[in-house]
Amino acid sequence: MNSEIRSLSDLDLWPGGLLVIDSGGLITKTNATLRDWLKQDDNNPDTSTRLVDILTPASRIFFETHLRPILVFEGEFSEVSLELVRRDGSRFGVYVNGRAVRPDGQMTEAYFCIFKNEQRQSFERELVQRRRESDEFRILVESSPHAIVSSDKSFKIHAWNPAAEQLFGYSKEEVLGRRFDHLLVPPEELDELKTKVPDVIAGEVLRSESVRLHRDGRALHVERSFAAIRDENQSHTGFVTMYSDIAQRKESEDRIKTLLHEINHRSKNLLTIVEVIARQTARRYQGDAFLATFSNRLRSLASNQDILLNSGSIHVDLDALARAQLTHLVDVSDAQVNIAGPTVHLNESVSQAVGMAIFELVTNAAKYGALSQESGKVDLTWEITGDDTPTLKICWLESGGPAVSPPTRTGFGSQVTGLLLESTTSGETHHDFAAEGLRWSFSAPMDQMT
């Protein structure tokens, strides 16, 4: 018996594909296994087949751009996944090891072992698919306009998306590993959070509007949802919290609240004015004449409201605006009211604010002040001072009316002639409840108002 190990002679029996190419890429040798896989005819060998001809187009590009450079410069590669194609167009996946013969640094030949790996390849494709799905999901979280923060069971942050960086001002690197309850939850909410955690773990989602602090200390209005994270076995692994910035919504809610307040106040004012008009008209007119005059005055009041709410033009003349606030009180004679000042045109928002303030002053004067008595008098005057930064100053002076005492409470009316006007115009207002009559003044830079 010969105990020597003999050289391999029949590579056709080899359970893997073997292939040799020359320097130009032409296939010079194959074994029977590879020919069988490729369904090539052993009796009628094709002598002009290149390696790239048995590769799918995508594998060809990969071979030329990645593998050939490696063969030429490094001499070999291993375990590369490629797809081969048969003449009939059917394809199968393989692993390839390649080695170049390079005397003098030039590749003269290259040898390849080829292993069929259809099962493994389907597994690889599945892994690729999974990876793509997870990439897609990651991109979704990264692109989300909502801040998303996830933590483990002990609240240690392990994900913090760009929207969270943007909203709270902390970078991902700064917060990873820190406890999100320490970082974000205000102390007064901690106890509540602790008591609710068991419910959240049980499946409840906490939703609330709340205030959180930005890194720089700013208060942020946010809507928060807090839920448990579960793995595929439904075991609890952590928590996810989503925050939406609701600053804009809060602002418009506040605006609506102010508007409702204003409408309520104005309606009451209007009823008072109607009552004043009725009383004044009834003093002089009776029967049909009363009705006609009263109706006219109400119509004039209505059009005055139109000027206030919708001036319709960009610039409103202050004199016309001031007079419009008094037209419904036609009994107020020129002798009772003095309106005087230079021509000034106000922009839309300022004219509304100024008109509302004058209307408020007129209403109060008709209810309690100088215009509630025939002996009373009002001076409404304005002037422009200052050359470099011209300033408009409007003064309202009541006299000859009942004795004035400062109001015991400040209502919405005082905002109309105060804060609201100031905030619209960057101006200043001043109330002086002098016993002989209310003195009110307002001044603001012209460049903010025209």
Partner 1 sequence: MEMSKIERCAVKVTGTGETALVFLHGYGCDSSMWRKVAPAFESRFKVITYDLMGYGQSAIEHYDRARYSTLDGHAEDLIDILDELDLSDVIAVGHSVSAMTVALAANRRPDLIAKTVMICPSPSYMNDEAYTGGFEESDLLGLLDILEVNYLGWAADMAPAIMGAPDRPGLGDKLTESFCQTDPDIAKHFARVTFLSDHREDVKKIAQPTLVLQCRDDILVPDTVRAWFDANLQRGEQVLLDATGHCPHMSFPEQTIAAISAFLKPAPLR
Interface ranges with partner 1 (CB under 8 A): 23-25, 50, 52, 56-62, 64-66, 68-70, 72-74, 76-83, 95, 105-107, 121, 124-125, 127-128, 131-132
Q: Which amino acid would we find at residue 173?
A: E
CA 98 – CA 76 distance, rounded (Å): 5
End-to-end, the C-alpha distance of the chain in Å comes to 116
Tell the smallest beta-carbon distance from residue 74 to partner 1 (Å).
5
Tell the smallest beta-carbon distance from residue 21 to partner 1 (Å).
11
Tell the smallest beta-carbon distance from residue 63 to partner 1 (Å).
8
Q: Which is nearer to partner 1, 122 or 373 (CB)?
A: 122
Tell the smallest beta-carbon distance from residue 23 to partner 1 (Å).
7
DSSP string of 304-333, one letter each residue: HHHHHH---SSEEEHHHHHHHTTTT-TTS-
Q: Which is nearer to partner 1, 99 or 250 (CB)?
A: 99
Tell the smallest beta-carbon distance from residue 130 to partner 1 (Å).
11
The token duo for 163 is 């929207």
Instruction: Compute, in degrees rounded to 10, the torsion defined by CA atoms 382, 441, 421, 319.
Output: -20
Q: Which amino acid would we find at residue 75?
A: G
Tell the smallest beta-carbon distance from residue 160 to partner 1 (Å).
13
Q: Which is nearer to partner 1, 80 or 200 (CB)?
A: 80
Tell the smallest beta-carbon distance from residue 86 to partner 1 (Å).
16
Q: Which is nearer to partner 1, 135 or 192 (CB)?
A: 135
Q: Which amino acid would we find at residue 434?
A: A
Distances (CA, A) of 62 to 26, 30, 81, 312: 17, 22, 10, 70
235 Cβ neighbours under 8 A, 6+ residues apart? none
CA 170 – CA 100 distance, rounded (Å): 53
Q: Which is nearer to partner 1, 56 or 225 (CB)?
A: 56
Q: Which is nearer to partner 1, 127 or 282 (CB)?
A: 127
Q: Which is nearer to partner 1, 129 or 208 (CB)?
A: 129
101 burial via Cβ count (<10 Å: 0-12, 13-18, 19+) = middle
